[in-house]
Amino acid sequence: MMEEMAKVIHSDDKGWVTVEVKVKNSCSHCDNSDSCGTSAVASAFSAKVQTFSIQADQQYQPGQLLKLGLPESVILKAAALVYLLPLLGLFIGATLANILLEPFVVEVSDLHVIPLALFGAYIAWFYAKRIAKRMEASSQPVIISSLGQSL
């Protein structure tokens, strides 16, 4: 289970807690951050904060820190969906372009195949985006523990 720290913003009496999580970038975890150009660019932008609501079985006070968890399977499914489905669409688009254009064009070249391959990748990306929206709605983080008030 992937874990992240969250700070309670608001808690209502219906069992919902609004929390904020600071989105971290990977540039702060490397030993080469002093000499890296990417680190300089990343530090120029302010830290992003994501705010969302989750269901809770008890009341939490504003400012309280919570440990949230999200199963790794959700992350792996999302990564496979975002990366592999458009790649599959690219290959299917290229294959269909070769098959469909062969009777009409004397010699099928890359200039004929590439637009249809990119169109296949776009269609697959659009479809993956719709699936990801449904998957996001069904996979909410859970509260693992309460860590007390923040300083």
Strand pairing category for 2-11 and 48-55? unpaired
pTM across the whole model? 0.59
Over residues 66-89, the pLDDT tens digits come to 888 888 888 788 888 888 999 999
Under the banding of pLDDT at 50, 70 and 90, the label for residue 43 is low
pLDDT of residue 6: 87
Among 28-32, 50-54, 87-91, 134-138, the range of highest mean pLDDT: 87-91
Under the banding of pLDDT at 50, 70 and 90, the label for residue 21 is confident
